[in-house]
Amino acid sequence: MKILGLAGYSGSGKTTLVVRLLPELRRRGLVVSTLKHTHHSVSVDQAGDASRALRDAGATDVVVATRQMWVLLHEHRDAPEPSLAELAARMTPVDLLLVEGFKQRPHEKIEVHRPATGAPLLCTDDPLVIAVASDAPLAGLRPPVLDLDDIPAIAEFIVERCRPKLT
């Protein structure tokens, strides 16, 4: 399973890019999963739901299963946050795992950068950034710069970059 990150600062459009890329990558025949890491507090189960009640009651893992999908909720309690490798190992093997976040981890990544946010570029200090997807021209960078709105071109870059690991 090839792991490719989409990294950038908050507000750069990482999630939007992943949502736009998924149909294009699937159209090209790839089976793709995603893993999102965030420093923000999130909850996929809502107050009043059975899953929340079971979690709040002390269950370490809660699985919610329907005819359309299943979801595994896992509470860390006092355990440390799992690594990317530990999380990926729990997932169904696919052609490509797009990882959003984990920008400091050692895997290849496409940086999502919007100069208007004022955030610095990651690629200047991270040799594992293989491309920068931006909504503005950026000159003089080591990795290639891709137009953030050209989803077919970004998908083609991913397919070409990952091809040896996909076969």
Band the pLDDT of 167: cuts 50, 70, 90.
Answer: low
Mean pLDDT over 26-49 rounds to 80
Instruction: State how beta strands 70-74 and 2-7 pair.
Output: unpaired
Mean pLDDT of 114-123: 95
**Per-residue pLDDT, 73:** 82
pLDDT number for residue 109: 97
For residue 143, pLDDT over 60 is answered with yes
Q: Is residue 62's pLDDT more than 60?
A: yes
pLDDT mean across residues, the chain: 89
For residue 166, the model assigns a pLDDT of 59
- 122-160 residues labelled b (16+ CB within 10 A) or e (exposed): bbeebebbbbbbbeeeeeebebebbebeebeebbebbbe
Tens of pLDDT along 91-108? 999 999 999 988 888 999
- The predicted pLDDT at position 165 comes to 64
**Is the pLDDT assigned to residue 8 strictly greater than 70?**
yes
**pLDDT at residue 60 is higher than 70:** yes
- Residue 42 CB contacts under 8 Å (≥ 6 apart), including other chains: none
pLDDT of residue 157: 97
d(CA 145, CA 2) in angstroms, rounded, equals 22
Check pLDDT > 60 for residue 35: yes
- Give the mean pLDDT of 41-51: 72
Domains and CATH numbers, the chain: 2-42+81-166 (3.40.50.300)
pLDDT beyond 70 at 164: no
Is-above-0.85 flag for pTM?
Answer: yes
